[in-house]
Amino acid sequence: ARRAGRATYSFFAEEMNARITSYRIRIDDIRRGIANQEFVLEYQPRFDTHDRRVLSVEALVRWLHPEKGLVGPGEFIDLAERSGLIIPLGEWILNTACRTIAAQPHDIGVSVNISPVQFRGGTLLDTVEKALARSGLAAERLELEITESVLLDNPDEIRPILQRIKSLGVRLAIDDFGTGHSSLSYLRSFPFDVIKIDRQFISDMVVQDGGRAIVHAILSLGKALGLGVIAEGVETEQQFEMLASDECKEVQGFLLARPMPAPDLGKFLDRSPIVSGR
Ligand code: C2E
Ligand code: CA
Ligand code: CA
Ligand code: CA
């Protein structure tokens, strides 16, 4: 009995150690986290380049994990997608983002990231309609951010879903633009309103020969196609100034504001000189 006791003790000691060094998130954790309402949203403002007023915010999910503390989406979105749990989680994200932004007094928009898997569930249109109806947020104030990979997956199924969502009045943005491999004419066959230039191009802009030329080309393309263009990951004044002089209308990044919890966003907007919305 004594031996067994000692063996048990060392087993636990080892397990505890493993937990500290590499806690592995499991599907059951995510399921429990959703049920226990451990997920939270942060909001990162997006600014008008000319007068630095806040036009909208991007909702970004985090997990207030009981053991790990604050966990970023990079650590759980992939597993949530593979397990299908992104469907209920994504529904919660849409509802919460719409409700939070509708409840504050400023006329700003909100962008929500949509995972490719949410298109496969067959419920996305319904989920978006319900989030708008329940929150009372005008459809024109909601934007969905979708990466190119979604479109490559299953274009003929996704196109009509996007068209129906757009016909509600919701805006559609291509996230991480330039990182995928789809052709421009192909992208053009989807009803997008906005191109979001990937952060990598913004950082290359100041450090690499030709970096600025690429950003410039994307901006010209947006203009020619009548699409809005936003630059993400703007971290320095130099990047900001280049984007402003290249007539990029909208910017987002640590230089101007980090993602913040809803109560801080309220204070941030109250303090901002002008927040007249879109
Ligand atoms: P993303 O959609 O490209 O989001 C932008 C990421 O860049 C965010 O990281 C944001 O915090 C970070 N960021 C913003 N400004 C700067 C900057 O100036 N410099 C740098 N270095 N980073 C900046 P986060 O919140 O960790 O999200 C990572 C990714 O996780 C997102 O990339 C998105 O793909 C995914 N994600 C986040 N929230 C959601 C969500 O609610 N639903 C889904 N499906 N995916 C989400
Ligand atoms: Ca995004
Ligand atoms: Ca992005
Ligand atoms: Ca990204």
DSSP 19-85: HHH-PPP-HHHHHHHHHTT-EEEEEEEEEETTT--EEEEEEEEEEEETTTEEE-GGGTHHHHHHHST
222-239 residue pLDDT tens: 999 999 999 999 999 999
Lowest-pLDDT choice from 55-64, 124-133, 151-160: 151-160
Cα-to-centroid distance, 60 and ligand 1 (Å): 6
- Residue 19 above 70 pLDDT? no
Quote ipTM for the complex.
0.98
Assigned token pair, 21: 């060094």
- Residue 9 above 50 pLDDT? no
Tell the residue nearest (CA) to atom 13 of ligand 1.
Answer: 233
Q: Give the confidence band of 275 by pLDDT, cuts at 50, 70, 90.
A: low
Tell the residue nearest (CA) to atom 38 of ligand 1.
Answer: 60
Q: Give the confidence band of 17 by pLDDT, cuts at 50, 70, 90.
A: very low
- Residue 1 above 50 pLDDT? no
Cα-to-centroid distance, 238 and ligand 1 (Å): 22
164-193 residue pLDDT tens: 999 999 999 999 998 887 777 788 889 999
Lowest-pLDDT choice from 6-20, 93-107, 114-128, 136-150: 6-20
DSSP assigned state of 115: -
Q: Give the confidence band of 94 by pLDDT, cuts at 50, 70, 90.
A: very high
Cα-to-centroid distance, 138 and ligand 1 (Å): 24
135-145 residue pLDDT tens: 999 999 999 99
- Residue 273 above 80 pLDDT? no
User: pLDDT value at position 110?
Assistant: 98
User: pLDDT value at position 150?
Assistant: 77
- Residue 49 above 80 pLDDT? yes
Give pTM, 2 decimals.
Answer: 0.91
Q: Give the confidence band of 278 by pLDDT, cuts at 50, 70, 90.
A: low
Ligand nearest, relative to CA of residue 253: 1
Q: Is residue 45 lining ligand 1, measured as CB closer than 6 Å?
A: no
Q: Give the confidence band of 11 by pLDDT, cuts at 50, 70, 90.
A: very low
Most ligand 1 atoms within 8 A of CB, residue of 39, 44, 46, 60 to mutate: 60
pLDDT greater at residue 24 or residue 21:
24
- Residue 18 above 80 pLDDT? no
User: pLDDT value at position 61?
Assistant: 98
User: pLDDT value at position 154?
Assistant: 80
Q: Is residue 254 lining ligand 1, measured as CB closer than 6 Å?
A: yes
Tell the residue nearest (CA) to atom 8 of ligand 1.
Answer: 60
- Residue 161 above 70 pLDDT? yes
Q: Is residue 118 lining ligand 1, measured as CB closer than 6 Å?
A: no
Ligand nearest, relative to CA of residue 177: 3
Whether 226 contacts 195, CB under 8 Å: no
Cα-to-centroid distance, 113 and ligand 1 (Å): 9
User: pLDDT value at position 22?
Assistant: 54
- Residue 267 above 80 pLDDT? yes
Most ligand 1 atoms within 8 A of CB, residue of 113, 144, 252 to mutate: 113
